[in-house]
Structure 1
Amino acid sequence: MRERFWERFALEELTQPEWEALCDGCGKCCLVKMEDPDSGDVATLNVACRLLDTDTCRCSDYANRFAKVPECTQLGLHNLESFRWLPHSCAYRRLSEGRKLASWHPLRRGDAVRMHERGMSVRHFAVSETDVDEADWESHIIDIIPLDDR
């Protein structure tokens, strides 16, 4: 990868490995989301995709995630604007909005330790969807993003 590519190149100019490296590994995009059909608001739960390893905050089967989890959505330049539900801390969102990577980002720090220490990952609160009955999901809402805030 090119040195400090995230500062020197636009998202459109990144190679696939550079694009993948932007992911900080927080796991927040792997939390279950529910959209209210009436208001359009999106609720985020502390319930994580069954493939998310909640200790490492990484997908346990990244190569096969779309086959195993059909609702998993691939983030790319073609759909980045529709991902306004991504957390404000997300590198993809930050860079697309003209902001810099967070000071704790693994690309800047060299590892993910600081991210986890700062509580920027789901490591300390996420539970696997295999451990929660879908009927109880509403009791696991941790955030609501109004339609007009996306």
Structure 2
Amino acid sequence: MRERFWERLTLEELTDEEWEALCDGCGRCCLVKIEEEDTGDIATLNVACKLLDIDSCRCSDYPSRFSQVPECTKLSLDNVELFRWLPETCGYRRMAEGRGLARWHPLRSGDPERVHRKGISVRSFAVSERDVDEEDYEDHIIAVLPIEY
């Protein structure tokens, strides 16, 4: 990867490896989201995708994630306008909004554990969807994002 690429290049100029490195390892994008039928609002649960390794906050089968979880969203320049559903702390969202990476981001801090120590990752509160019945999802809502934001 090019030195300090996140400070010097636009998202369009990044290599695939640099793009992937923008991930801060928080795991928040892997939390289950459901659309509220009445309002269209998006509810985020503390329930993580079955593929998320909650301890590392990384996908346990990243290369095959789309075949195993068809609703998994591939973050790319083609859907950057949809990044607003990502947490405000997300490296992809921050870069897309021109805010740069947070000081705790692994690229800036050199410490991939810092995201966990700062309490930004899902490590301390997520449960796997393998352990939660879908009919109990409403009990796991941790945030609701209005459709018009």
TM-score normalised to the size of structure 1?
0.97
Distance 2:31 2:132 in 1: 13
| Aligned counterpart, 2:102 | 102
How far the C-alpha of 1:114 sits from its partner, in A, is: 1.3
How far the C-alpha of 1:112 sits from its partner, in A, is: 1.5
- The superposition leaves residues 84-137 of structure 1 with CA deviations (integer Å, 9 ceiling, x where unpaired) of 110000011101111011110000111222111010100000000000000000
Secondary structure of 2:85's counterpart equals coil
How far the C-alpha of 1:78 sits from its partner, in A, is: 0.2
Q: Give the AA of the match of 1:81.
A: E
Distance 1:59 1:51 in 2: 5
Secondary structure of 2:33's counterpart equals strand
Gaps of 5+ in 1: none
Aligned structure 1 segments of 4 or more residues deviating by more than 4 angstroms: none
Q: Sequence identity of aligned pairs in percent?
A: 68
How far the C-alpha of 1:26 sits from its partner, in A, is: 0.4
| Aligned counterpart, 2:77 | 77
Q: Give the AA of the match of 1:85.
A: W
Q: Give the AA of the match of 1:36.
A: E
Counterpart contact for 2:83–2:92, Cα < 8 Å: no
Distance 2:12 2:37 in 1: 33
Does residue 16 of structure 2 align to residue 13 of structure 1?
A: no
| Aligned counterpart, 1:120 | 120
Gaps of 5+ in 2: none
TM-score normalised to the size of structure 2?
0.98
Secondary structure of 2:77's counterpart equals coil
| Aligned counterpart, 2:51 | 51
| Aligned counterpart, 1:147 | 147
Distance 1:99 1:29 in 2: 19
Q: Give the AA of the match of 1:38.
A: D
Query: Aligned Cα RMSD in Å?
Result: 0.7
